[in-house]
Amino acid sequence: MSLHFLIRTATEKDIDSIVAMRLQLQEHLLASNSNVWQLSTKRIAALPMFYKSAIEDQHCHLVIAENEKSGAIIGMGSGKIIEHEEYLPNKSGKIDDVWVEPKCRKKGLCKKIIYELVKFFEPNGIDTIVLDYANGNHEAEAVWRSLGFHEVLTISTAKLDEVQLQCRSVRT
What is each CA distance from 74 to 128, 149, 172, in whole angstroms? 27, 24, 58
Q: Look at the chain and report how many structural domains it folds into.
A: 1
Q: What pTM was estimated for this model as a whole?
A: 0.87
Range of the domain at 11: 5-168
CATH code, domain carrying 62: 3.40.630.30
Q: Per residue in 37-82, pLDDT tens?
A: 999 999 999 999 999 999 999 999 999 999 999 999 999 999 999 9
